[in-house]
Amino acid sequence: MKLPVRIDWSKFGLPAAFFVMLIIFTVINPAFFSARNMIQTTRQGAILFLIVSGQTFALLARGIDLSQGSVMSLVSIATISSIYVLGAYAGSIAGILFGAMCGFINGMLIAFLGIPPILATLGMLFVVSGVELVYTGGVTLTNLSDIDQGRLFWFGGGMIGPVPVPVIFAIIIGFLLYYILKYTLFGRQIYLIGTNADASSLAGLPIKRVIVLVYTVSALLASLGAFFLTARLSMGFPQLGEAWLVLAIGGAVLGGTSVFGGKGGVWEALLGCLVIVFLDNGLIVSGVSTFAREAIIGVVIIVACLGSVIKRRV
Amino acid sequence: MERRVKLSQSPILSFKGITKRFPGVVALRGVDFDLYEGEVHVLVGANGAGKSTLVKILAGVYQPDEGEIFFNDKRAIIRNAEQARRMGISIVYQNFNLINKMDVGQNIFLNREPTVGKIVRRVDWSRIYRETSAILKRLHVHIDPKSLVGDLPVADHQMIEIAKALAMQSRILVLDEPTSSLSEQEIEDLFHRISSLREEGVAVLYISHRLEEIKRIGDRVTVLRDGEYVGSESIEKISLEKVIKMMLGREVEKIYPWKPRPVGEVVLSVEGLGSRGAFENVSFSLRKGEILGISGLVGARRTELALAIFGALPTHSGRLIYKGKAARFNNPGDAIAAGIGLLPEDKARYGMFPILSVAHNITSAGLSLLVRRFGLNPRLERNITEEYVRKLNVRTPSVKTEIQSLSGGNQQKIMLAKSLFTNSEVLIFDEPTKGIDVGAKEEIYNLMLELAGEGRGIIMISSEIPEVLGMSDRILVMKEGRITAEFDRENATQEKILEAAL
Ligand SMILES: Nc1ncnc2c1ncn2[C@@H]1O[C@H](COP(=O)(O)OP(=O)(O)OP(=O)(O)O)[C@@H](O)[C@H]1O
Ligand SMILES: [Mg+2]
C-alpha cells in the first residue's frame, strides 16, 4: 500500500540555524567572513570532523569512547618520538597506528570481557594519560630536524591551492566513512547492533568483531585528528587532546546522532562539528572571552542532548 | 453467562468524531465510540485498523487531531498517562511496557509505590511484595514477585502487565490483545477476573484477534476498518462470520487451507538433544515439504528447543543431523548459513530493530545476499523488501518507514518476512500468527503451504491447538522439556493433545 510520505521538516532545523548564525556573525564583524578566517576555521573544522566521526561510530553501536582525548595526546607524543627514529613519514604512520591500537584494546575489553564501554574507555583514558606523563614528564617534545619538520608541517599547516591540507584529507575520509556506513556489511551491522543487540545476535551478526572494529575506527579517527594538530604545531604536546573529548561527543549529539545507538551518521557529524567550530570562531571574532565561549558552547551541547532525549520519548 | 448491560444510562466514556493522522497514514477517521459501565466492549479490526491508536488516545499518549472525548458526559482532554490514571483508566498495552531491569513487584507498583513513615517517607517494600503476591495469586500465576522481569519468558510478561493494570482501582480497564501469549488456563483466570470486574461496574474495553473470545467474554462488539467506524452490535445479535465480513470487507473461505502434499526425504533430525535446565532427550525428524506442529502448554520449553536447534542456546547432549550429515551450530550465524531460519517467539526483543526501517529489518539476518560489486545494493534491497510487503499485505507508507510506527500485527508480518528473507530450507516458526488478524492468518497459512510445496521443512510451534490441528502434517506434543506424544494428522484431536500436554 503506497501512501504519500510527508516531509520531515525537523531535518532542516539545524542547517537553517547554522546559516542564520553565519549571517549574524558576519553582521557583527565582517572579518568573520574573510577568506583568512574561513580557511583557519575550516582547518579546525576538518580536525574536529575526524574526531566527531570516530565518536559517531562508538555512539552508533550504542557505546561511547571516552578515551579519544587522551589517545590524541598519546598520538602527539608517539608521533614526534617515532619521527626522531623513523623519519617524518614512517614516524607519522607509527604514531597513528599507536593510537589505533588503543582503540583495538578498548574494543577487545568491551567485546570479549564484557566491560561496559563507558568503563573500558574511561580506564583507557587514565592508563594512556598515565603512560604518557611518565614517558614525557609533562614536557613538550620538539627539536625535529628541519627536513622532518618541513615534511610534517605540510600535513597540518600546508595548503593545496586555497584549501588547507587537513580539509582535503577530511573530505576524502568523510566520503569513505559515508560509504562504509551506508554500503558495507560492517556499516549496516553497526546500526543493527546499536539498535538491538539481542536481535542482532539471533540474526547471526558477528557482534564481537564489529565492536572491536568500531572502537578501533573511533581511535584511528581521533589519532588522525591528533596527527594533523601535531603536524601543525610540529611538536609533541602532552595536553593536546584534553579539550577535544567534550567537543567530540557534543558535536556528534548536536548534529543528531543518538546517544541511545542506531541513529546518526557522517552527515550528522559534519553538521555538528561545523556548528561548533563556526560558533566558537564567531564568538572569538565577536570578542567574547574564552571562558564565556566555553560556557556558551557547553550550553548549546546540553540543549542538543536534551533535544535528542525528548525526541526519543515522543 | 448472564449479561447485564445497562445501556439505559449514559456512557462513562464516549469518543465523537475522532481523527488521528500520522505521517503518510490516517489511523482513525471520524470514529465514534461509546463505553458503558459494567460492559465488556470488544473492539475488533484488521491489523492497522486503528485499535491501538484509539487506546493510546484514551491513555493520553496521543492527542486526536479532530473530535472530542466525553468522560461522564463532560468534555475531557487527556493530556498524559498520569492524567488518564487519575481518571481511573488502566491499560494493558499490546507492546508491553515493563522494565526488564526491575523485579516484578517494582514493575507492578512503578510510580505509585506505597510509603511508610511520617518524617522520612520510605518505600514500603514489604507491602509491595505482599500485595504483588496477592494479585498474582488471584490470577493463579506462580511468579516470584522478586524475580527480574528480564529473566522471565514473554508469557509471564503478559501476565505481569495484566496484574499491573488490575492492581489499580480502575473505572475503565483497557486490554489490548492481552491473551496473545497466554495459556488456556491463564485465559480462563483472566476472563474470570474480567467478569467479576464487570459485576462491580467497571467498564472494560477488550481488543483481540482471537475471535472466539468475543463470544466468551464480550457484551458488545465494535468493528473498525482502515481507521473507520464500521458498526457496533450486541454479541447475541451477531455471528462471527458477520464480524469477519465487517472487519475485512470479504469472507474468509477456509480458516485452515491445508491440502495433502507429497513429502520428501528427511532434512533435519534431532537425536537425543538436551539442554541443561530446559529440555532432555528430545528426538524427532523433519521431512522436506512437511509442516511439523509442536504443541504444548506455555512453558513446555518449545521455545528453548527452537533456540537450541538454531545455535542460540547451548546443548549438553545429543546431536543434529542436517541433510544427512552431523551438524553443529555454535551460534545463529552458523545455522543461518546452513539454511535454517527462525521466527522467534519474543519478536520485540529478539527480532525487531525498532528505530530502523522496514527494509533494514527484513534484510537484517541475510545482509550478505544484498552484497554486489559496490557493497550493499540499496535498489535490490528496496525491490526485494517491497515484494515482501506486497505479498504479506503489510500496511506501511513505505519500506523506509521505521518499523516501530507500524501496528503490532504489521510488525509481526515484517518479522515473518525477515525469517523468510534468508531463503532457508528449514523454517522454525515460533508462534507465527500471534497478533495477526483472521484475514492475514489465512494469507500466512497459504504462504506456509507454498513454502512447504517448494520442499522446505517447516516446524510450527503454536499454543493455539486449532492452528496446530489445522495446519500440521504431523504433531509433536511437549511437556516440561520432553516430547510426550506424536500424532499423524488423521489421528490427532484436541483431547489427545491436551492429554499429552497436561
Ligand atoms: N506512532 C506512529 N507513527 C506513525 N504511524 C503510526 C503510529 N502509530 C500507528 N501508526 C499507524 O496507524 C495505523 C493504525 O495503527 P494501530 O496500531 O492503531 O493498529 P491496530 O488496529 O492496533 O493494529 P494491530 O491489530 O496490528 O495491532 C497503522 O497503519 C500504523 O502504521
Ligand atoms: Mg494494535
pLDDT tens by residue, B228-240 = 999 998 988 888 8
Strands (E), chain A: 159-160, 163-164
In a domain, A6, yes or no: no
- Taking CA–CA distances from B23, the nearest residue in chain A reads A6
Same domain, B465 and B495: yes
Average pLDDT, chain B: 90
Residue nearest to atom 18 of ligand 1 (CA): B50
Q: Could you tell me if residue A185 is inside a domain?
A: yes
pLDDT of residue A314: 42
Whether pLDDT at B330 is above 60: yes
Residue B135 is predicted with a pLDDT of 85
Quick check: is A314 in a domain? Answer: no
Structure confidence at residue B186 as a pLDDT band (50, 70, 90): confident
How much is the pLDDT for A2?
38
Residue A295's contacts (CB-CB under 8 Å, 6 or more residues apart) are: none
**What is residue A1's predicted lDDT score, i.e. its pLDDT?**
37
Judge contact between A241 and A66, C-beta under 8 A.
no
Nearest ligand for residue B46 CA = 1
Can you tell me the distance from the alpha carbon of B457 to that of B291, in angstroms, rounded to the nearest whole number?
Answer: 6
Structural domains in chain B (count): 3
Q: B440-499, pLDDT tens digit by residue?
A: 898 899 999 999 999 999 999 998 889 999 999 999 999 999 999 999 999 999 999 999
Residue A80 Cα distances to A73, A74, A262, angstroms: 11, 10, 37
Please tell me whether residues B55 and B188 are part of one structural domain.
Answer: yes
Residues B122, B135: Cα–Cα separation, whole Å: 22
For chain A (314 residues), the mean pLDDT of every run of 10, in chain order, is 48 81 88 87 94 97 96 95 93 96 97 96 94 88 87 92 94 97 97 96 96 98 96 90 90 90 94 92 88 89 76 54
Strand B482-488 to B474-479 pairing: antiparallel
Residue A30 lies in a domain: no
Q: What is the ipTM of this complex?
A: 0.91
Q: Quick one: pLDDT at residue B1?
A: 42
Residues B362 and B394 in one domain: yes
Mark whether B228 and B271 lie in a shared domain: no
The gap between the terminal CA atoms of chain A, to the nearest Å, is: 26
Question: Do B287 and B409 belong to one domain?
Answer: no
* Closest of B14, B1, B153 to residue B73, by C-alpha: B14
Neighbours of A43 (CB within 10 A): 23
Q: Residues B387, B448: one domain?
A: no
Q: Say if residue B80 is in the same domain as residue B157.
A: yes
Do A177 and A184 meet the contact criterion of CB atoms below 8 Å apart?
Answer: no
User: Does one domain contain both B151 and B288?
Assistant: no
**B286 vs B117, which has greater pLDDT?**
B286
**Could you tell me the CATH number of the domain that includes residue B112?**
3.40.50.300
Final residue belonging to a domain, choices B396, B423, B450: B423
% chain B with pLDDT above 70: 98
Under 8 Å between Cβ of A219 and A102: yes
Q: Scanning the structure block, which residue is given the C-alpha cell 467497571?
A: B202
| A202 contacts on B by Cβ (under 8 Å) | 310, 312, 332, 342, 344, 350-351, 365
pLDDT at B6: 52
Asked, for residue B7, whether it belongs to a domain, the answer is no
B156, exposed or middle or buried, with CB in 10 Å at 0-12, 13-18, 19+? buried
Shared domain for B200 and B63, answered yes or no, is yes
A11 vs B186, more confident = B186
Q: Is residue A99 part of a domain?
A: yes
**H or E stretch including B470?**
helix B465-471
Q: Same structural domain for residues B451 and B402? A: no
Which residues of chain A does B392 touch, with a Cβ-Cβ cutoff of 8 Å?
Answer: none
Alpha-carbon span A187 to A173, nearest angstrom: 15
Domain annotation covers residue A304: no
Q: What's the domain count of chain A?
A: 1
Domain membership of residue B442 (yes or no) is: yes
Q: What is the DSSP string of B313-348?
A: S--SEEEEEETTEEE--SSHHHHHHHTEEEE-SSHH
Gap from A61 CA to chain B (nearest CA, Å)? 13
Query: Using one digit for the tens of pLDDT, what is the confidence trace for B69-90?
Result: 999 889 989 988 888 888 999 9
> Sign of dihedral through CA atoms B16, B17, B20, B25?
positive
The residue among B310, B347, B307, B330 whose CA lies nearest residue B424 is B310
Query: B367 and A196 in contact by Cβ < 8 A?
Result: no
pLDDT at A96: 97
Residue A29: its pLDDT value, please?
87
Segment B288-313 mean pLDDT: 92
Task: Name the grid cell of B187.
Answer: 485465559
The mean-pLDDT minimum among A175-179, A212-216, B214-218, B351-355 falls in B214-218
CB B26 within 8 A of CB B227: yes
Which residues are B297's β-sheet partners?
A: none
Which of B109-123, B208-222, B399-413 shows the lowest mean pLDDT across its residues? B109-123
Domain assignment of residue B253, yes or no: no
Q: Are B364 and A203 a contacting pair at CB < 8 A? A: yes
* Rounded CA separation B311/A198 (Å): 14
Residue B196 within any structural domain of the chain: yes
Q: State whether B280 and B132 are in the same domain.
A: no
**Is B256 contained in some domain?**
no
Q: Which amino acid is at B90?
A: S
**pLDDT band with cut points at 50, 70 and 90 for residue B2:** very low
pLDDT at B64: 94
Nearest Cα to Cα of residue A67 among A114, A100, A96: A100
What range does the domain containing A202 cover? 43-126+136-241
DSSP state letters, B345-381: SSHHHHT--TTSBHHHHHHTT-GGGGEETTEE-HHHH
Residues with CB under 6 A from ligand 1: B 22, 25, 27, 45, 47-53, 94, 395, 405-410, 437
**Domain span including residue B116:** 13-248
Whether B6 maps to a domain, the answer reads no
A306 in any annotated domain:
no
Using CB atoms, pick whichever of B23, B349, B398 lies closest to residue A198: B349
Q: Mutation test of ligand 1: which of B53, B230, B434 has the most ligand atoms closer than 8 Å to its C-beta?
A: B53
Share of chain B above pLDDT 90, in %: 55
Does B346 map to a domain?
no
pLDDT at residue A6 in the model: 47
Query: Do residue B404 and residue B275 come from a single domain?
Result: no
